[in-house]
Chains A and B, each alone.
Chain A
Amino acid sequence: MSKLFLIAEIADTSIAICSEVIESVVTVGDVVEVPRCDPVIAGLFALRSRVLTLIDCQYRVTGQRKTVHQKGLAVVASIGGHNFGLMVDRVSDVVSVAEEAIIPATKLDRKWRELVKELIEIEGKLHMVVDPERLVAIEARLAA
């Protein structure tokens, strides 16, 4: 058994996202800000007839807000019944990884520790597997 992963870049770091939760990758149109909200929420944008919540993944990792610009890329994922767009710098590839190549993450940088529980090896290079659920989790934010 193997799993598909999307390889993308967040905060200048190459990461992987399990394709199971991913619906598509889109360019973000008009973004409407959400005042008084957690800064991890970059805003709302419309995708066809749906409203998606745009997540500033970079802020989540580094604490630095990414400037939202038109034509930015977002990974569309449905998490807990809500539609999210996860802002990424760029998307490079989709790879199939054998289950054996997925290993639990150990000893990670503080800023990534919360988001990453697994690592995968692609062509001899380790990639962190970012769990989108943790990106948008409210409990984690409150604790942080």
Chain B
Amino acid sequence: MDDLREDFIAETRETLEILAGQLVQWEKTPDDLGLIDSAFRFVHTVKGSCGFLDLPRLLRLSHAAEDVLSHARDGRISVCPELVSATLAVIDRIAALTDALETGESVFDDDPGLIAAMLAFLPTEQAVEEEASAVGSDYLNEEVASIVDDHTSRSKSRTVRVSLNLLDKLMNGVSDLVLARNEVSRQLRRYGASTEIDHAFGRLSTTVAEMRDAIGMMRMQHIDRLFSSLPRLLRDICIDLDKQIELTVEGSEVEVDREMVEALRDPLTHILRNSADHGIESAEERRSVGKDPVGHIQVVARQSGNQILVEISDDGRGIDVEKLGQKAIARKLLTIGQWQKMSERAKLDTIFAPGLSTADAVTAISGRGVGMDVVRNNMHAIGGTIDLENHDGHGLKITLRLPLTLSIIAGLSLRAGGQIFGISRSSVVEIISVANRNVEIEHIGDMPIAKVRGERLAYAKLEALLEVEEAACSQGMARTLVIIRPAVGATFALDVEAVVDNEELVVKPGAPLVMATGLYAGTTLPDNGRPMLLLDASGLAAAIGVEEDLFERDTKRHDAVHLEKRQIDSGLLFETMDGKIRAIRLASVERMEDFERAAFHEVGGRLCVSVNGTLFDVRGLDGLPEQSHVKLLRLTDGSSIVFLAVADVIDIFAIDGEVAPSLNPEIYEGIVHVDGRPIELLSSFSFFELTSDAMRSHASGRPLCFISAETEDGWEQRVLAPLLKASGYDVTFDEQHRATASVMLSLDANADASNGDCRLVKLRDSLRPAEGGHDSIYRYDRAALLSAVSSKIAGGA
């Protein structure tokens, strides 16, 4: 009996899930006979089963619903939305009672009210109704029997119900089988085997692999199981909110792990409610901004590699980021200053802060601010991520990414300190050699930062994070950076000895004491037979310190990772070469570099340092250094670079107090207090005002000078071009570049084709201007020539 009851519960629930979507459809097209039929079949089946199982309440409910639906089916009563609502109420009650049957809870009994509401749709008074129902049921019992038979023969393609526990057991068994196979493979390799054994083993391997796939499939389910309940959910929300929303669902055929379906249910429901309640505006509001009065929500599922993507997009008002900020500030979740410094992305992400909502009013559906943070946590719990794409005023798209299964992952094995560790490949963005030209490891104070193609990332050596010794034999070998984007926290660069392999890993959770470290996601046994620890990307991020909490992280990210932001009000404390303590604004410090004495040169009375063949000014040193190595701060104003020699860097501090004026404003910007000591803050301005144009960056933006009509002695090439180049211009003799040049220079101006062009600077041989040649410049009048060129450029710009 208990078995039968369990079967009844499971079956009813399954049918209800399928039915939910159809019922909503039915509401839109009340006279669709097919849909009425489905509803009818459902209540009929329930009625049949519960008569047998002795469940009187369910029997009464399903009986009444059956009566009404049979009338509707035969066209004896017309179906109106009210009737649909009444039927849905009854079906809901059936669902509630079914759940209660399992949990043993009781459900408040107002069934007679629900039944009366239904029966009110029947045509005439009680007597006739009774009669009709009697006739109806008799007549139906036969006909429906045939329908049900048809139905069963059509859709029941040989299935059995298996308990999830058994399935899990099977899955574990197969995982062990795979590992046992690996073990055998190892032993075979060790002892050597004949061809026959190899052959047999090969066959065994294939079979095991096939079996693993098949069992993996057994756990898979159409995501439709989840999606089919959405139309009904939305319908109820729409009625509560009095909004009109159309739901489109795509990708119902995508298959996901059974557990994923369950894990996704709550987040998806929540997001849908939010979209309907906050996202989609009221019909009037939509009309006034020129949108279709009916709102649209689209739910799309698709498989992409080893990930499942679920996108929920609406065409509502999107998230008002500024309003979000005001709320966050009002709730003291962060300060105005923090908010202003945050990136757009980070601002949007505050929606995930606990207790925050942009809704003005709390409704029964949503707006209490318990939400997005929970959604995100749920996603993280199953190894997924959530991304927002906000179009202010035009809608919001939420993308949920989840791994395909929970237990087998694509992994990458890394070596550090002579030990092998695994990491989930899905969190790895890029693998790049430290020796790569695009990679630099900078040091700000004691903190290392990786700069990969100009982007600064938090950086850590895996050995340091795990507090293990670096393997001695690896010294001097090029190491590898693994760029990791964890589910929680900012992207960081992990420096490892080497990336070893790429393999499928069967992950088992580690012992509680191992997991307590927060650094590991589990353990696994790869083919080599040595247990391997799987690193937890988010845990590593936390260990590096790129993740504290949402806001902390943002400020930190701007401080530590994107240095440009922090530099606004931080200072660097250092010791000058003559032993004095000075400070400089961190904003102008690019990095610190060590130089050998050989790199220093005295050129033109100035001390310079050569970096990759280019000379840069060095300040803070009176002559060539005596030490073999000198620390230089690389300062930049965006385009120019100068170096400042320092004895040592002491600390980074916040310039928050008043900057007192200095007596020597040419050199010092002012006086700041660091830990109560007055420190003179060097003026960054003074470093750059003396830098000549030629020292400026060569990347781009140098005006192009075109020199035409060469004289026979090559004066332009030997004398003029070097002068212009030294003054910060690019020079061309190529006719093709004439059009793009900012300035043209010509010695034989009158003969030149571009005579009359406003870009032309005319030059002459003789000190004194020739007849009618007052607009020309003597070719050795350096000052006049350069000022003419620069005024042409200024004029042209």
Contacts and interface: CB of A to CB of B under 8 A. Distances in A.
Interface in B749-771: none
Interface stretch (B110-118, B505-513, B598-606): B505-513
Contacts of A41: 511, 513-514
Interface stretch (B13-21, B179-187, B698-706): B179-187
Interface string B505-526: 0001111111011011001110
Interface in A33-62: 33-38, 40-41, 44-46, 48-51, 53
Contacts of B156: none
B472 to A, nearest CB: 17
B523 A35 contact: no
B445 to A, nearest CB: 24
B180 A48 contact: yes
Contacts of A82: 509-512
Interface size classification for chain A: 20 to 34
Contact of A35 (B176, B466, B512, B516): B466
A69 B524 CA distance: 22
Given A49-B525, A82-B512, A136-B511, A32 B530 contact: yes
B514 A51 contact: no
B510 A53 contact: yes
Contacts of B520: 34
B517 A49 contact: no
Nearest to B519: A36
A84 B176 contact: no
A84 B531 CA distance: 13
Interface size classification for chain B: 20 to 34
A138 interface: yes
A49 B179 contact: yes
Contacts of B529: 30, 46
Interface string B391-422: 00000000000000000000000000101000
Contact of A51 (B183, B466, B468, B525): B525
A113 interface: no
A53 B531 CA distance: 10
A141 interface: yes
A46 B519 contact: no
A30 to B, nearest CB: 6
A9 B182 CA distance: 34
Nearest to A142: B516
Nearest to A40: B513
Q: Dominant SS at the A interface?
A: mixed
Contacts of A37: 513-514, 516-517
A30 B516 CA distance: 23
A84 B516 CA distance: 16
A142 B531 CA distance: 26
Contacts of B467: 35-36
Contacts of A36: 465-467, 517, 519
A36 B524 CA distance: 18
Interface string A79-100: 0101010000000000000000
A102 to B, nearest CB: 28
B517 A51 contact: no
B533 interface: yes
B180 A49 contact: yes
B513 A136 contact: yes
Given A46-B525, A49-B182, A34 B514 contact: yes
Given A50-B525, A51-B524, A138 B530 contact: no
B108 to A, nearest CB: 39
Given A48-B183, A50-B525, A51-B508, A38 B513 contact: yes
Contacts of B510: 53, 82
Contacts of A46: 525, 529-531
Contacts of B417: 35
Contacts of B508: 51
A49 B183 contact: yes
B513 A49 contact: no
A37 B523 CA distance: 14
Nearest to B182: A49
B615 interface: no
B532 A32 contact: yes
Contacts of B523: 44, 51
Interface in B462-503: 465-468
Nearest to A37: B517
Contacts of B516: 37-38, 138, 141-142
A84 B514 CA distance: 12
A75 to B, nearest CB: 15
Interface of B: 176, 178-180, 182-183, 417, 419, 465-468, 508-514, 516-517, 519-520, 523-525, 529-533
24 contacts: A32-B530, A32-B531, A33-B468, A34-B514, A34-B533, A35-B468, A35-B519, A40-B513, A41-B511, A44-B523, A45-B531, A46-B529, A48-B180, A48-B183, A50-B179, A51-B524, A53-B514, A82-B509, A82-B510, A82-B512, A84-B511, A138-B512, A138-B513, A142-B516
Given A44-B514, A44-B533, 10 more contacts: A35-B467, A35-B468, A35-B519, A36-B517, A41-B511, A41-B513, A49-B179, A49-B183, A53-B513, A136-B511
Name the 5 nearest CB pairs between A and B, nearest first.
A49-B179, A35-B466, A44-B531, A53-B511, A51-B531
